[in-house]
Structure 1
Amino acid sequence: MEFIFQTFELYHAFLLIFGLLTGILVGALPGLTPTMGVALTIPFTFSLGATEGLIILGGIYCGSVYGGSIPAILFNVPGAPASVATTFDGYPMTEKGEARKALEIATISSVIGGLFGMAMLLFFAPLFADLSLKFGPTESFWVAIFGLTVIAAISEGSTSKNLIGGSIGVMLSFVGIHTITGTTRFTFGMDSLVGGFHVVAVLIGLFAFPQALRIIEKLTSIDKRQPLIYKVKKSSIKQSFVDVLGKPKSVSLGSMVGGFIGLIPGAGGNIASILAYNEVKRFSKNKQFFGKGEKKGVIASESANNAMVGGSLIPLLTLGIPGSPTAAIFLGGLLIHGIWPGRTLFIDNAEVAYTFLYSMIAAQLFLLVLGLSLIKYMTKLSAIPGYIMAPVILSFSIIGAYTMQNNIFDIHTVILIGFIMFFLQKLTFSPAPIALGFILGPIAEEGLLHGVQVGSSHGSALSYFFSGGINIVLFLLIFFTVVVSFIQKIVIHKENSLKQCCVALKWKHLFYPSAIVWLIVAILDIVIIISIQSLPFEQRLFPQITLSILLGLIIIEYMKVIGTNHEQKMKMMPNTIPFKWSMLPILLFVTIVSFLTEVIGFYLQVLLLMMAVPLYFRFVKKNKDIVLPKVFFTAIIFTLILFTVFTLIVKVPLPVPDIF
């Protein structure tokens, strides 16, 4: 009781609320991840006591994980890697006018998941710490593979295209220094590629940048004024509680999966939310509603990534092994304050440890009140006109990419990947499988190579991967997921169409432009497989496996194209907004301006973007409802706000023009 009273002291409660609000802001800004939020705050805790410093860091950790759901739901832009799965159903709910409902159930689910994770931490830490020690390289490998195979089950559209996207993401993760050998690969002699692609830059490029381009595209496809991106329907908090608590299977599965994945060192909330989403969809009777605004999808994702917070702190506090990237930064905060994690933590530093634990539970309660109170203000963001929101997203995309490493190459990564992803979505590719492949690729490769090395020392690498209860269970889950997905998406739904494709196959189909493209890609894949034979075994093993799987998927797509006549092909195409060549100039302009950050400076770039898009619609599209003085005023005020926050307060070094 003494520790509980200390937690709710006015000073400690104030610090906790401050940390939560800061964390929510960090999570809501694309590019500012929970890891970055905790890392930036650690220096400000030097002058505080150990208890006070940890309370602030804990509040930021919890708040930032929750805050990532806000842009994920409102704009289809995950504020953090752990919020990728929230976009699957959160943004479709916004499109249907249920943004307020989505934010409410996300807040409630986050709190329930967070409480579950903290209960694990408080009552079962020693037990689960022993379990986390049983996860070796093979277990990590199977968990990563399980996450990759989930792509086929959770993603809408063509299974083969989704798996191709996952393979592309895995291949992007190969670029840079190989973690096992310490040597570079696939850098093509470019120094910028030595460090590889940063995960935040890739996620912003896959989700945020193309979303801004799509907003511009939608504005060009309408003739009338559209002041609101999506209208927001009214919602009842009481009914939202009923929606969450009335679906105990979704929130329970999400919390359990999230807490369990948090135990695995290095896994993180991104894997937790994806796997939880898959399991809830697997056990749902209405699988067809997922990806179209299903509440259970939001509940599963948000309960999982918040339960992961408590789970990741278990191996950290009891063994000194961080269970997530953010927990690894958190470890630095503990050591700076002279606290050494381990089994003696709760004996030598009992007052600090228990006060911190109870403050993490209190954080969930405060988060519930803060989150629900802020929703009515959050939903007002959807009332921002598209010609203003698009440059705002572009500006945050650029600053979010740069602030991670102060590297211009990260900005170029965002722009190139974003521009390519915009057109890939026209070809019905989804960004989620690519993101998942990029995140899980390094975990799978490290687990594979370490498992091969350890297994060889035990006599047989193959038997090592299939020995042990955890390995067997994970393998069976993977097998079950693949078989069920095959039956549901190929045998049941495609059986008749496959027969028709075989009948419709004609020689002229071989000369379809899309068939020729797939053939060229297949040849390129084969060339790459042959060319990497000169690499050391450790560097080429997993790339060869990935490229071989990719080749098989490309052949499947090739056969589908040549086995489908033109009329069938048109029926199979989804209802998307056709690309208008008239919008190409504005797309190229915003892309080029974004690319010139180092030349013109960040703040001049923001001004140009904020004014260029509205001016385009005012003079080119003849939208007389756009008031020019209001546009100029908004652009200047927004730029000044960014300057105040990032230069005067946070003091982030941003690109300035070369003349300075």
Structure 2
Amino acid sequence: MGYIFEIFELRHLIFLICGLLTGIIVGALPGLTPTMGVALTIPFTFSLGPTEGLILLGGIYCGSVYGGSIPAILFNVPGAPASVATTFDGYPMAQNGQGRKALELTTIASVIGGLAGMFLLLFFAPIFADVSLQFGPAQSFWIAIFGITVIAAISEGSITKNLIGGCFGIGLSFVGIHTVTGTARFTFGVEGLVGGFHIVAVLIGLFAFPQALRLIELLPYKPSRPDAACNLKKSTIKESFKDILTKPKSVLIGSGLGSFIGMIPGAGGNIASILAYNEVKRFSKHKHSFGKGEKHGIIASESANNAMVGGSLIPLLTLGIPGSPTAAIFLGGLLIHGIWPGRNLFIDHADVAYTFLYSMVAAQVLLLFLGLALIKYVTKLSRIPSIMMAPIIVSFSIIGAYTTQNSVFDIYTVVIIGLLMFIMQKYAFSPAPVALGFILGGIAEEGLLLGMQVGAANGQTIGYFFSGAWNITLVVLIVATVSAAVFQGINHKRPLRKNATVGTAKRRIPAIIPWIVTSVLSVIAFSAISKLELELKILPQITLLLLLLLSLIEMVKNVRQTGIGKKASVISRRAVPLLILVVTVSMLIDIIGFYTQVIIFMLSIPLYAYWKNWYRSNPLWIGLVTVLFTLFLYLMFTVIFQVPFPSII
């Protein structure tokens, strides 16, 4: 009880509240992940005691995971990798005028999931730590495959296109140093590719940058406040509590899966939120409403990624094995203060350990009040005109990409992937499958190769992956997920086929050209990498074979059907000059400097819209906002975080 009362000491409460508020801000800024927030804060804890330092880091961890949902809901830009699943239904709810409702559900579900994870950490840490040790390479491989197959089930649109997007994402994960052999592959002589694509840069390129380009493209055709409807429909906190507590299935599934996945080293909130979303959709009676503003999709996703926080700390504190990248940073924070994790942690440093654990429980309670209090002000962000929101998103995209590794190559990654994703969305491709493929591809390959080595040592390479209760359970889940997705897709497409009209061969040929090209390139790539070592080529070749099969399926569909989603949206010619300007200036950051780039974006987009009569505003007001925003970025990232941005030579 003495440790509980320590939480209520003024200094501990101050550090906890400061950590939560800082974390919410970090999570709400696209590109600034929980891992980055904790890592950037560690130097500030050097002068603090171990208890205060860990409370501050823990508050930032909890706050940033929750904060990532804010831009995911309001702008379709996940503030953290774990918030990807929140965009599926959060942004549609915001577009339907239920932005406040979505944020209320997110806050309540996050707190419930966070409390579930923390209570498991507090009372059952040693037991669940032993369970997590039962997960070896084979289990990690099947969990990753399970996550990849979920692509077909959770994403809207064509199942084959979703899986093709997943293959593209997996292909991106193969670039760089191989995690098992240490050999660089698929770098094509480009030095920047040796380290591979960074997850933050890829996610920003898939979600944030294309969203900014879409806002720019729509400037000539709609009012400059595309999301202003977020506040049209009122909501009460009492109703939101009732939605969650009267039908607790979603929050229970999310909290349980989030805590469990969090304990598995390397999995993290990315997999937890996606799997929770899939399972809630699987057991829902309204499957077709998911992806269109289904509140239970938000509840599942947010309860899972916040429950993961407590789950990821279980193997860290009891075994010294971090369950997520952010937990790995936490390990560094412990070691800096001379604290070694393990079973003796709760004996040798009981005062620090238990005070920290109880502070994490208190953090969830405080997060409920802080989150609900901030919703009134956060929803007003949706009123920012598109002429200002577009350059702001681009600026934060570049900041988030660069600050991860202080690498200009990451900015190039964002721009190129973002432009490609912007074009692919015209052909009904979703960024979510690509993101999932990239996140899970490396985990799947590492689990496969290590599992093959362990199985070979035991004399049963294949049998190792299909023996044991966990392996069999995961394989059954994978088969069930794929079967359900295919069956659902067939039933969904059946009415469309009845209404399909057969077009002329002249109309069909252009539609199948991309799939012919993809098929040919898949065969060429498969042959080109056949000379590599088995460890380097086995999963890439499997991915290429799957890509070839899916491309052939799409080719057949295009031949048999016409007029069903075959026409891609044409990019607005009126917005092309601005799109070219944004892409070009973004690629020139190493020459013109970061802050010059920000000023160009903040001035050129609004003034061009003003010149074209797309939006009427006082140019002096535009200049004032530009100065204030640039000053804010300078104080935040140059003065406080001291990020060495490129500058004009």
Give the TM interval when normalised to the shorter protein.
Answer: over 0.9
| Residue of structure 2 equivalent to 1:352 | 352
| Residue of structure 1 equivalent to 2:273 | 273
> Cα offset for 1:143?
0.2
* Among 593, 597, 601, the residue aligned to 1:605: 597
Q: Find the aligned partners of 2:240 and 2:497 in 1 and give their Cα distance.
A: 43
| Structure 1 residues without counterparts, runs of 5 or longer | none
Identity %: 64
| Residue of structure 1 equivalent to 2:540 | 543
Query: Does the CA contact (< 8 Å) of 1:258 and 1:269 recur in 2?
Result: yes
Alignment partner of 1:552 is 2:544: no
Query: Does the CA contact (< 8 Å) of 1:227 and 1:384 recur in 2?
Result: no
Q: Find the aligned partners of 1:437 and 1:226 in 2 and give their Cα distance.
A: 33
Q: Find the aligned partners of 1:630 and 1:592 in 2 and give their Cα distance.
A: 26
Amino acid corresponding to residue 561 of structure 1 in structure 2? N
> Cα offset for 1:162?
0.3
Alignment partner of 1:564 is 2:537: no
| Residue of structure 1 equivalent to 2:121 | 121
Q: Find the aligned partners of 2:228 and 2:204 in 1 and give their Cα distance.
A: 20
Query: Does the CA contact (< 8 Å) of 2:224 and 2:385 recur in 1?
Result: no
Q: How has the CA–CA distance of structure 1 residues 314 and 231 changed in structure 2, closer, same or farther, with 3 Å as cutoff?
A: closer
> Cα offset for 1:580?
1.4
Query: Does the CA contact (< 8 Å) of 2:387 and 2:605 recur in 1?
Result: yes
Query: Does the CA contact (< 8 Å) of 1:218 and 1:577 recur in 2?
Result: no
Q: Find the aligned partners of 1:435 and 1:213 in 2 and give their Cα distance.
A: 19
| Residue of structure 2 equivalent to 1:647 | 638
> Cα offset for 1:23?
0.6
Query: Does the CA contact (< 8 Å) of 2:148 and 2:437 recur in 1?
Result: yes
> Cα offset for 1:493?
2.5
Deviations 1:151-179 (A, max 9, x none): 00000100000000000000000000111
Query: Does the CA contact (< 8 Å) of 2:69 and 2:83 recur in 1?
Result: yes
* Among 578, 582, 585, the residue aligned to 1:590: 582
> Cα offset for 1:498?
5.8
Q: Find the aligned partners of 1:210 and 1:640 in 2 and give their Cα distance.
A: 26
Amino acid corresponding to residue 103 of structure 2 in structure 1? L
Amino acid corresponding to residue 596 of structure 1 in structure 2? L
> Cα offset for 1:611?
0.7
TM-score between both structures, scaled by the size of structure 1:
0.96
Alignment of 1:106-505 (within 5 A): 106-222=106-222, 226=225, 229-232=228-231, 233-490=233-490, 492-495=491-494, 504=502
Query: Does the CA contact (< 8 Å) of 2:224 and 2:386 recur in 1?
Result: no
* Among 611, 629, 639, the residue aligned to 2:620: 629
Amino acid corresponding to residue 654 of structure 1 in structure 2? F
Q: Find the aligned partners of 1:226 and 1:438 in 2 and give their Cα distance.
A: 33
Query: Does the CA contact (< 8 Å) of 2:225 and 2:384 recur in 1?
Result: no
Q: Find the aligned partners of 1:475 and 1:172 in 2 and give their Cα distance.
A: 25
Q: Find the aligned partners of 2:142 and 2:30 in 1 and give their Cα distance.
A: 30
Deviations 1:480-534 (A, max 9, x none): 11111111112x2334656887x9487556x621212211111011000000011
Q: For 1:220, what is the secondary structure of its paired residue? A: coil
Amino acid corresponding to residue 558 of structure 1 in structure 2? M
Q: Find the aligned partners of 1:636 and 1:14 in 2 and give their Cα distance.
A: 32
Deviations 1:442-461 (A, max 9, x none): 00000000011110111111
> Cα offset for 1:247?
2.1
Alignment of 1:52-91 (within 5 A): 52-91=52-91
Query: Does the CA contact (< 8 Å) of 2:176 and 2:187 recur in 1?
Result: yes
Query: Does the CA contact (< 8 Å) of 2:113 and 2:251 recur in 1?
Result: yes
Q: Find the aligned partners of 2:101 and 2:280 in 1 and give their Cα distance.
A: 19
Larger CA deviation: 231-240 vs 34-43: 231-240
Query: Does the CA contact (< 8 Å) of 1:111 and 1:367 recur in 2?
Result: yes
TM-score between both structures, scaled by the size of structure 2:
0.98
Deviations 1:344-403 (A, max 9, x none): 111111111100000000000010011111111101100100100000000000011000
Deviations 1:309-359 (A, max 9, x none): 000000000111100010011011111111111111111111111000000
Q: For 1:338, what is the secondary structure of its paired residue? A: coil
Q: For 2:229, what is the secondary structure of its paired residue? A: coil
Q: How has the CA–CA distance of structure 1 residues 225 and 420 changed in structure 2, closer, same or farther, with 3 Å as cutoff?
A: closer
Amino acid corresponding to residue 92 of structure 1 in structure 2? P
Amino acid corresponding to residue 613 of structure 1 in structure 2? I
Q: Find the aligned partners of 1:24 and 1:16 in 2 and give their Cα distance.
A: 12
Query: Does the CA contact (< 8 Å) of 1:254 and 1:277 recur in 2?
Result: yes
| Residue of structure 1 equivalent to 2:520 | 523
Query: Does the CA contact (< 8 Å) of 1:505 and 1:563 recur in 2?
Result: no
Q: Find the aligned partners of 1:148 and 1:520 in 2 and give their Cα distance.
A: 24
| Structure 2 residues without counterparts, runs of 5 or longer | none
Query: Does the CA contact (< 8 Å) of 2:153 and 2:278 recur in 1?
Result: yes
Amino acid corresponding to residue 580 of structure 1 in structure 2? S
> Cα offset for 1:246?
2.0
Q: For 1:211, what is the secondary structure of its paired residue? A: helix
Q: Find the aligned partners of 2:116 and 2:86 in 1 and give their Cα distance.
A: 19
| Residue of structure 1 equivalent to 2:610 | 618
Q: Find the aligned partners of 1:244 and 1:100 in 2 and give their Cα distance.
A: 15
Query: Does the CA contact (< 8 Å) of 1:118 and 1:307 recur in 2?
Result: yes
Amino acid corresponding to residue 205 of structure 2 in structure 1? G
Q: Find the aligned partners of 2:616 and 2:241 in 1 and give their Cα distance.
A: 41
Q: For 2:53, what is the secondary structure of its paired residue? A: helix
> Cα offset for 1:243?
1.4
Q: Find the aligned partners of 2:624 and 2:576 in 1 and give their Cα distance.
A: 27
Query: Does the CA contact (< 8 Å) of 1:114 and 1:309 recur in 2?
Result: yes
Q: Find the aligned partners of 2:225 and 2:487 in 1 and give their Cα distance.
A: 43
Amino acid corresponding to residue 543 of structure 1 in structure 2? P
> Cα offset for 1:230?
3.3
Q: How has the CA–CA distance of structure 1 residues 227 and 526 changed in structure 2, closer, same or farther, with 3 Å as cutoff?
A: closer
